[in-house]
Amino acid sequence: MIVGVLKLSLILAENHSLKGKRGALRRIQARVSHKFNISVTEFDDQDLWQSAVLGFGMVGSSRQIVEGTLHKVVGFVEDLGLAQVGDAEVELFYC
């Protein structure tokens, strides 16, 4: 079993309030969860309105599938155009 974790730092340059940030993150989380069926949560920079750190997690039986899916998530979030991707880190854990 492979557990994959993606830490994605986002820059919300066009955002001007925490309310706007929550709306943008809600749209990103919903679209990613629906398309890739993976878990997602905001876990850092929660009080900053122009940046966010999202964590994505998934479990699978193949390293290639888990790692590939997490890299596709990065591209998908970039293509949404709701935020700029600042940094993306993928970690895999073998159980």
Q: Given a cut of 90, is residue 18 above it in pLDDT?
A: no
Token digits for 4?
Answer: 């994959």
Domain that holds residue 50: 2-94
Q: Helices (DSSP H) in the chain: which residue ranges?
A: 18-36, 63-80
Counted residue by residue, the chain has a size of 95
Question: Dihedral, CA atoms, 47, 48, 52, 53, nearest 10 degrees?
Answer: -60
**pTM for this entry:** 0.89
C-alpha to C-alpha distance for 22 and 26, rounded to whole angstroms: 6
**pLDDT for res 14:** 83
For residue range 48-58, list pLDDT tens digits in order. Answer: 889 999 999 99
Domain count within the chain: 1
User: For the domain that residue 59 is a member of, what is the CATH number?
Assistant: 3.30.70.1120
Q: Given a cut of 90, is residue 16 above it in pLDDT?
A: no
Q: What is the residue-averaged pLDDT of the chain?
A: 93
**pLDDT for res 77:** 96
